[in-house]
Homo-oligomer: A and B are copies of this chain.
């Protein structure tokens, strides 16, 4: 579906971005390469684990810090930190970690009204081990967040957001897939836009057909890294993947770590350079924050290259410290890079 992001909408949006994603608390610890080998953790990936394995890994994990995470949740926290008005749909349980997650969303300036589950599995947690090369390998117990269903998709949030941003990770359960289509329908009927991140290559492998159906028929903005794009279209070059993606989606954002990003509309292509990082500590959240900067720019009237540049600046910030969310004043940071925010 191709719609112009620049046409006037009859009703001003209440929210810039409504994200739908896995509500997860991150447990972050340093480890060496040998730890990944011993515990058979796929490096750089999001490994899904059950509660028993999560407990087992935690027992063997080094000292950790806990902080709210979740890919699309990080993105909307970033949008808020830039001065935007985001909202979030995601499922926690009414336990300690659920309270922490809700606190952090609200304290970040994200409207987050989804009701907590009072029974069933506990709030999701992701044991994130960070190797000395700043790569993060995640071990995620989905718990409560995988129970998100169509009923949780509040039409008032989606219809009143300029963009609804779907997190591919959520696509694992049929009920969540249904929630995606419900959100897409509400967004488009309200004349709004739909964005998708496929989340990671393993997630693309699990759901290639489902994602392709979304991309072909629902997604206006596709935000993905180069490997996800190549895997999605089953091609061996980034350029070929971008070429295919732009025939389906109005805007395609292809991120490439230290090589920056490429943004393509139907007839324009912009190459965005990565922002230099003084010392890479933990890459957790870099892609989420690129999406935050980009979506903030897009929903605030910036052109595509400037939106991409905002994405690059905020992505580099989060790589410089542990944890997936911004520290310090993101607006000042973006302004310091010469962008008139």
Contacts and interface: CB of A to CB of B under 8 A. Distances in A.
Interface of A: 29-30, 58-59, 61-68, 77, 95-97, 100, 103-104, 107-108, 321-323, 325, 327-328
A152 to B, nearest CB: 23
> What number of copies of this chain does the assembly contain?
2
The binding surface of chain A is classed by DSSP as mixed
Given A322-B321, A322-B327, A100 B66 contact: yes
A104 B64 contact: yes
A108 B65 contact: no
Given A96-B95, A322-B327, A327-B30, A65 B62 contact: no
B30 A103 contact: no
Contact of A62 (B29, B95, B107): B107
A304 B180 CA distance: 64
B61 A107 contact: yes
A122 to B, nearest CB: 9
> Which of A77, A96, A97 has the most CB atoms of chain B within a 10 A radius of its CB?
A96
A61 B104 CA distance: 9
Contacts of A95: 96
Nearest 5 pairs between A and B by C-beta? A96-B96, A66-B66, A65-B67, A63-B104, A63-B107
